[in-house]
């Protein structure tokens, strides 16, 4: 993103993304939530690294962002949730195919990097962000195949290879559908919880064989 990426734009990008992704597909609400949370994580990391006024907020960034989103959007943006979004994005950097990630981030930031065009100017303010979110979300949905609760469980798995193994196993258990069955979802969750327990880590046993 451009150097004009400041705290106000961080808040506006999150608000716009929340509003847009919740309307993408009524039959894929949970996966749209996953896409939204991944994008929030990206915005946060990008702001922390290159935000124009990041020094003004420092360690208080997530706390301030939580308060701003609660005021503008509503519930669901606690400090803990934002920390999870940030970790989710950072973990996905290890497993998400580079091509898919690059395409997604390029779609979001392209206009902001070229302030000469009308669409770029609207994106800088946050008003034009929804225009690029649909294509970015389509790309992400090809790779983020589980529900948000599954990914929260996987946040406790520190080994990238093990995490990817359980992600694939969980997707297979749930039939890899946008709305997995209850039994499939429970099976996937049970499988992933075992990943967080070293004593029952099937991946570790497989790697030793």
In a domain, 2, yes or no: no
**Which ranges in the chain belong to alpha helices (H)?**
7-21, 29-50, 54-57, 61-72, 79-95, 98-109, 118-125, 130-141, 148-154, 160-173, 182-195, 202-208
Look at residue 101 and tell me if it is in a domain.
Answer: yes
Contact present, 154 and 90 (Cβ < 8 Å): no
Residue 104 domain-assigned (yes or no): yes
User: Given 121, 141, 161, which residue is the final one in a domain?
Assistant: 141
Please check whether residues 170 and 111 belong to one and the same domain: no
Note whether 72 and 89 are same-domain residues: yes
| pLDDT value of residue 69 | 96
Domain-ending residue, one of 141, 165, 197 = 141
Do residues 59 and 115 both lie within one domain?
yes
Residues 46 and 29 in one domain: yes
Same domain, 128 and 104: yes
Residues 152 and 137 in one domain: no
Q: Is residue 131 part of a domain?
A: yes
- Domain membership of residue 1 (yes or no) is no
Domain membership of residue 21 as a residue range: 7-141
Phi, psi values for residue 155, rounded to 5°: -60, -25
pLDDT at 70: 95
Assess whether 132 and 163 both reside in one domain: no
Q: What pLDDT was estimated at residue 82?
A: 97
User: What contacts 24+ positions apart, CB below 8 Å, involve 91-99?
Assistant: 91/154, 91/155, 91/160, 91/163, 92/38, 92/41, 92/144, 94/160, 94/163, 95/160, 95/163, 95/164, 95/167, 96/143, 96/144, 97/143
- Tell me the mean pLDDT per 10 residues along the chain, length 209: 77 86 62 89 91 87 95 93 95 70 63 43 45 73 86 91 88 56 45 50 49
Residues 97 and 165 in one domain: no
Look up residue 173 and give its two tokens.
């258990």
Is 82 in the same domain as 65? yes
**Count: domains in the chain:** 2
Do 85 and 16 lie in one domain? The reply is yes
Last residue of some domain: 126, 141, 156?
141
**Domain shared by 27 and 126, yes or no:** yes
């Amino acid at each position: 993103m451009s150097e004009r990426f400041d705290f106000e734009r961080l808040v506006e990008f999150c608000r716009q993304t929340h509003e847009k992704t919740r309307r993408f597909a009524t039959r894929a609400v949970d996966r749209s939530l996953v896409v939204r949370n991944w994008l929030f994580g990206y915005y946060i990391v990008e702001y922390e690294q290159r935000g124009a006024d990041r020094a003004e907020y420092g360690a208080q960034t997530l706390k301030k962002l939580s308060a701003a989103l609660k005021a503008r959007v509503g519930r669901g943006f606690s400090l803990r949730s934002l920390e999870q979004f940030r970790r989710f994005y950072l973990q996905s950097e290890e497993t998400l195919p580079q091509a898919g990630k690059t395409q997604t981030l390029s779609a979001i930031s392209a206009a902001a990097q070229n302030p000469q065009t009308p669409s770029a100017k609207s994106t800088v303010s946050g008003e034009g962000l929804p225009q690029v979110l649909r294509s970015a979300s389509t790309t992400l949905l090809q790779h983020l195949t589980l529900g948000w609760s599954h990914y929260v469980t996987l946040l406790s798995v520190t080994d990238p290879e093990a995490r990817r193994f359980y992600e694939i196993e969980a997707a297979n258990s749930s039939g890899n559908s946008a709305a997995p069955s209850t039994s499939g979802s429970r099976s996937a969750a049970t499988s992933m919880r075992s990943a967080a327990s070293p004593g029952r880590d099937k991946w570790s046993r497989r790697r030793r064989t």
